[in-house]
Amino acid sequence: MIGVFDSGVGGLTVLHELLVSLPEEDYIYVGDSGHFPYGTKTVEELTARGVAITEFLFEKDIKLLVIACNSATAAAGPLIRKMGAEAGIPVLTVVGPEAEIAGAITESGRIGVLATPATVASRAYARALEDQGRPFTVTEVAAPDLAPIIQGGFPFDEAVLQTVRSYCEPLKEADVDTLVLGCTHYPLVAPMLQRLLGRDVRLVTAGHAIAGAIQRNLAQGGNLAKTGKEGTYNFLVTGDKEGFEKLGTRFLQLPLDGRVEHIELGE
C-alpha cells in the first residue's frame, strides 16, 4: 500500500496521476483539512503536522510514502525522509521531480515558480534548480489566497480572476517560458493560468512529475503490484468529511461515498 498526504484536496491531483500510472496499487490518502491552510504556517507547525501524519501512516504498513504537499515538503521533507530511512520506507516528495522536469524543458532558462508563502520562503525550488548546475533565472511568486480559493470550491467570479491575474503579472514581466505549479492544489486552475500566461508557457505539475519517480522506485525495489486488477483507495480526513467527499468526487471523478473517514490526528 502507498501512503499519500496533503493539507487538503490538492494532493488528489497527485493521486490521480498515480491511479493512472499505477492502477494496481492500493492507496491510503490523508487530507489534513482540519489544519488547512499549510501555506501560511510556520516551519515548526508544518514539521509537527508532517511528523504526526508520517508516524500515523507508517503504522498502516505502507511500502512507500508520498508527501503530496509542497509546503510540508519544504519544511519537513528532510526530516521525514530520515524517518523513512530509519523505518525502511522510501519517502518521495514533489519538489525534486518538478524542478528536474522544469530544468529539462525550459528553452530560455527563465523559470517561474507559483507557490504558497511557506514554500517560496523556503527557496526549495530555487535550490533544487540551482543543484542542476545550469544558469537558470528563477522568478518565485507567493500566492497566499490561491489554495484557499481552490479548497473552498473555487467560485470563478471576477474577484478570483483578478487575484489570479495579479499573481501572473510578475511571471509575465519576467518572460518565463516554464512555470512550476508549486502547490498540488494549483493544477485544478491550470486552464485559467494557461489563458493568462499564454499557450507558449509550459506548466509543470507535481502529479505527472512524481508518478514516474514512484514507478521507478517501486520497480527498482521489486515492489510493483502485479495483481492484474484495480487496487483499493481509502481516504482519511481531519476536517469536514462531507466537504472532502464532494470536492474529491469532483476532482477524481470517482465515487468517494463510504470511502472517506474522519480522524483525529496529532491534536
Q: Determine, yes or no, domain membership for 234.
A: yes
* Residue 154: predicted pLDDT: 62
Report the C-alpha gap between 112 and 172 in whole angstroms: 9
137 within some domain = yes
Q: What is the C-alpha separation between 244 and 63, in angstroms, rounded?
A: 25
Q: What is residue 46's predicted lDDT score, i.e. its pLDDT?
A: 94
In the set 2, 69, 146, 193, the catalytic residue is 69
Residue 256: pLDDT over 70: yes
pLDDT band with cut points at 50, 70 and 90 for residue 267? low
Taking each helix axis from N to C end, the angle separating 12-21 and 241-252, rounded to the nearest 10 degrees, works out to: 50
pLDDT band of 6, cuts 50, 70, 90: very high
Residue 101 lies in a domain: yes
148 pLDDT band, cuts 50/70/90, is: confident
17 and 148 both lie in a single domain:
no
Pick the residue with more confidence: 48 or 134? 48
Query: Does 160 lie in the same domain as 179?
Result: yes
Same domain, 33 and 79: yes
Give the Cβ contact number of residue 84 at 10 Å.
19
Per-residue cell: 14: 497527485
For residues 150 and 177, membership in a common domain is answered with yes
Q: Kindly report which listed range (49-53, 163-167, 192-196, 252-256) carries the lowest average pLDDT score.
A: 252-256
Do 214 and 85 fall within a single domain? Answer: yes
> Grid coordinates in use for 73?
515538503
Q: Tell me: do 83 and 177 sit in the same domain.
A: no
Q: Which residues contact 130 (CB under 8 A, 6 or more apart)?
A: 136
Average pLDDT over residues 191-210: 91
Q: Collapse the DSSP code of 37 into the 3-class scheme (helix H, G, I; strand E, B; otherwise coil) and give the result.
A: coil
Percentage of residues in the chain having pLDDT higher than 90: 68
What is the number of other CB atoms lying within 10 angstroms of the CB of residue 104? 11
Domain that holds residue 111: 95-206
Strand partners, 196: none
Please report the beta strands in 178-225, taking only residues with DSSP state E, as ranges in sequence order: 178-182, 202-204
pLDDT for residue 141 is more than 80: yes
- DSSP, collapsed to helix, strand or coil, labels residue 52 as helix
> Domain check: are 178 and 50 in the same one?
no
- Tell me, yes or no, whether 37 lies in a domain: yes
Taking the model in full, what pTM does it have? 0.87
Residue 267 lies in a domain: no
Residue 187 — very low, low, confident or very high, per pLDDT cuts 50/70/90? confident
Tell me how far apart the alpha carbons of residues 139 and 3 are, in angstroms, rounded to a whole number. 32
The CATH number of whichever domain residue 105 belongs to comes to 3.40.50.1860
Distances (CA, A) of 119 to 80, 116, 141: 16, 5, 10
Instruction: Give the total residue count for the chain.
Output: 267
pLDDT at residue 133, as a whole number? 87
**Cβ 129 vs Cβ 102: under 8 Å:** yes
Whether 69 is a known active-site residue: answer yes
257 falls within a domain? yes
Average pLDDT over residues 69-80: 92
Same-domain status, 80 and 59:
yes
**Does residue 156 sit in the same domain as residue 237?**
no
Dist CA 246 CA 35 (whole Å): 19
Q: Are residues 116 and 77 in the same domain?
A: no
**Per-residue model confidence (pLDDT) at position 24:** 96
Helix (H, G, I), strand (E, B) or coil at 66: strand
Cα separation, 75 vs 43, whole angstroms: 5
In angstroms, the Cα distances linking 139 to 100, 177, 179 are 16, 11, 9
Averaged pLDDT of the chain: 92
The rounded radius of gyration (Å) of the Cα atoms in the chain is 18
pLDDT of res. 15: 93
My answer on whether 84 and 101 are in the same domain is no
- Among 99, 147, 183, 189, the active-site one is 183
- Separation between Cα atoms, residue 212 and residue 203, nearest integer Å: 17
- The count of domains in the chain is 2
Q: Same structural domain for residues 108 and 193?
A: yes
pLDDT at 218 over 90: yes
